[in-house]
Amino acid sequence: MPWLGLGVFQVEDGETVAASVEEAIVQGYRHIDTAAVYENEEGVGEGIRRGMERAGITRDELFITSKLWNADQGYERALEAYRESTARLGLDQLDLYLIHWPVENKFTESWRALEDLYKEEKVGAIGVSNFQIHHLETLLQTAEIVPAINQVERHPRLVQTELFKYLTEKNIHPVAWAPLAQGGIFNEPVLVEMAESLGKTVAQVVLKWHLQTGWAVIPKSVKKHRIYENADLYDFELNEEQVKAINEMDQHRRVGPDPDNFDF
């Protein structure tokens, strides 16, 4: 799985998301992350096809992720939902399929369905999203396969130190959604000063921090120059003091729902 991907949460289906995905692939992105509930899988699929043609690449050079929505959880429905997602995307299979949220009393059955999809080689890898440590502990009591990744909210105001340590111990790779706190950290003085000293944007500094601290990232953008900037991360490094300064911005503060208290 490429550690840098394009996220498409809240990106309108149709030409908007198709153009964003196409541009990302042309600019070198190889990981695209969507979900059934985003209601844009058809547009993502169109963008994938257009991007591959323009970039001159084949399907096996891309890594495509989607997610099982809460209303589709449970064994039989999860299997159907996977088929529906691949059909909307126009793909034979996904490289990664995730349980989107830990729906109580359902996610273990959903996981059994994902395990069967994996065993039957209908999906490249399976994982979870928004799982806290106790959700994973419950899952692992009956799971035959350890989730490949856990995709959770993570940014300088929610560093997720304890969860990262647990995931590392279990060999579950962490992926950050809302890695820029949905833009909420762009005016932070510490980050602004750091970005100016490095000749980079605040977004680039924060995305680099994620990568250097062991997290994959899926920033969202529909703007051509932002898609480029978000991937232009490999000609600089943060030093130990800079990484520490960002870690110390942690306020355990979310911009999205709490996985222990959601009702959708």
Annotated catalytic residues are: 38
Give 92's DSSP letter.
S
d(CA 159, CA 180): 12
User: Is 176 in a helix, a strand, or coil?
Assistant: strand
Question: In b/e form, how buried is each residue of 138-166, taking b as 16+ CB within 10 angstroms?
Answer: bbeeebeeebbbbbbbbbbbbbbeebbeb
Residue 260 phi/psi, 5-degree rounding, is: -95, -5
Task: Judge contact between 237 and 209, C-beta under 8 A.
Answer: no
d(CA 168, CA 174): 8
Ramachandran quadrant class, 10 (left: phi over 0; alpha: psi -120 to 50; beta: rest): left
d(CA 3, CA 5): 7
